[in-house]
Chain A
Amino acid sequence: MSAPLPTVEDQRDTATFEALMWAMARPGTIHDLPEGLSDLILALVDRECKVMVDDPALARLVATTGATLVSASLADHAFCLSADRALAVLTALPGGSALYPDQGATLVLPARLGQGPALRLSGPGVDGTCDVRIGGLPDGFLAARAARCRYPEGIEIAFVDGRRVMGLPRSTTVKVL
């Protein structure tokens, strides 16, 4: 019996997840997605999910996965392309509870990695501290994140810049330098 071969979709989804998994396991490091932000939708989201998405093209893609399109306050995954709305979405998303930390949502948004204000990350996955630059975020975004991430409650954020992704799990402490 010859070994089965992964389909193109299998390869893309596994590579996407591998990038996201290492991005979350090592906050501050940048990993490569096969194509871009839409990979994350296809690799993570299906009929069991409630998704907030603010872009019509992405909304059509989410619809093909069978996920329910909802407002941010009900979503378990949010894909927010507009920087103007990112703050409101972050504030509205469910953050889980100490009883059910798994109900905290995942937020995916575009950012400019390697530009913008210097940040110092620490926490699980970071050997000591790690300095990064994340640009294109609305004012007060990181302060709002800190307010939402009352560990073990919180929201996971994946910053996507083209084909590159950086993870910011709720366990990471961010200090603006």
Chain B
Amino acid sequence: MTLATLTRPWAAMSYGFLDASAKREMRRKIIKAIAVPGCQMPYASREVPIARGWGTGGLQVTLTLIKPASVVKVIDQGADDSVNAASIRRFLSRVSGAAETWDTLEATILQSRHRIPEERLRDDQVLVLQVPNPEPLRPVQPNMSIARQMHADADYGRLWLVLYEQMVRSGRIVQGAAYPSLVNGRHVMTPSPIPRWDVPKLHMAHHLTLLSAGREKRLYAVPPFTRVEPLVFSDVPYQVEDHAGLTCHRSGLSGVFMNEIPQDSGGSVFEASDSNLGIKAIRQAEGEATKIGPMWYENGELRP
């Protein structure tokens, strides 16, 4: 064994930006995360050329999975064209040669900030969610050592207390995003700040979901066909946002998750949050051949 056999030829950059040892660590942690669904696994969280808190966790997972044949879609609150999403997508294609897409149906890896697309994800797709705060217990227990013990003991009573207090104060559960959910009947996770609308899409899904928090250096996973149950009281059913009756003012779509756009007149109009679905609906209306895949929701109701 000589030094030459252990060394690689010089290259300006590793394929997919992350070096081989960073990728190996990500691989080991992703395997453990899949094996214990919803349980947060610590990882080193390398530097990537965007600031922590702007999707570095999701970016590192995507860079570990990416290959030249990958097709990546990156969305930010449902939109493919936001600066953050466009920058991450362009970076991914530049360092890997992977193809870019806006279309949920074409993508093999979907990196997302705070939304899950409205079209159903398939068996072969990986959803990578960026997570700002991976610890569901942080609002009730800021000490992370004690929070770890609470996870070990499955001691989640205080999360139910938070929901109970919301009921008492407001008459309903007001938790709008990052709704705490029990995964595989054991670990409570925060599904990242996706709206309540999106949480049922993770339950017994066909796709693999990887959630990664770069700043907090933790990642966790929801494998396919895994129970994801939002915490609810038996007499207060889980409710998604009541968007069934709303219509997108640009595309005419209805029965999907909407963004409310305030108007100068004091009122508001609504716009489909999944922006590329809106684009596809407009193209279809104009007579172009565009395929819209099967949806999770029909008329605001989740399809089984």
Residues of A within 8 A of B (CB): 1, 3-7, 9-11, 13-15, 17-18, 20-22, 24-26, 43-49, 64, 97-99, 101-102, 104, 106, 123-127, 151-152, 154, 156, 169-171
Contact = CB atoms under 8 A, between A and B. Distances in A.
Most chain B C-beta atoms within 10 Å of own C-beta, residue among A64, A102, A106 = A102
A101 to B, nearest CB: 5
A77 to B, nearest CB: 8
Contacts of B97: 3-5
Contacts of A15: 67
B303 interface: no
B24 A43 contact: yes
Contacts of B96: 3-4
B31 interface: yes
B148 A99 contact: yes
Interface residues of B, number: 49
B184 interface: yes
A64 B1 contact: yes
A17 B22 CA distance: 13
B67 A6 contact: yes
Contacts of A124: 37, 184, 223-227
Contacts of A169: 34-36
B27 A7 contact: no
A30 to B, nearest CB: 15
B168 interface: no
A11 B23 CA distance: 12
B113 interface: no
Given A4-B97, A125-B226, A171 B35 contact: yes
A98 B154 CA distance: 9
Nearest to A15: B67
A59 B257 CA distance: 54
B140 interface: no
A64 B24 CA distance: 15
15 contacts: A3-B68, A3-B95, A6-B67, A7-B8, A15-B67, A17-B64, A24-B35, A25-B34, A47-B21, A102-B32, A102-B39, A102-B41, A106-B28, A106-B31, A124-B223
Nearest to A26: B224
Contacts of A7: 8, 15
Given A5-B97, A46-B24, A99-B149, A18 B65 contact: yes
A99 to B, nearest CB: 5
Given A44-B27, A156-B35, A6 B208 contact: no
B240 to A, nearest CB: 23
Contact of B20 (A9, A26, A106, A170): A9
Nearest to B207: A25
Contacts of B21: 46-48
A13 to B, nearest CB: 7
B187 interface: yes
Nearest to B222: A124
Given A3-B97, A169-B34, A43 B184 contact: no
B16 interface: yes
Contacts of A20: 27, 31
Among B31, B39, B224, max chain A CB count under 10 A is at B31
Interface string B19-62: 01101110111111011110101100000000000000000000
Interface in B122-179: 148-149, 152-153
B6 interface: yes
Contacts of B223: 24-26, 124-125
A97 B151 CA distance: 11
A122 to B, nearest CB: 10
Given A1-B94, A5-B97, A124-B226, A152 B67 contact: no
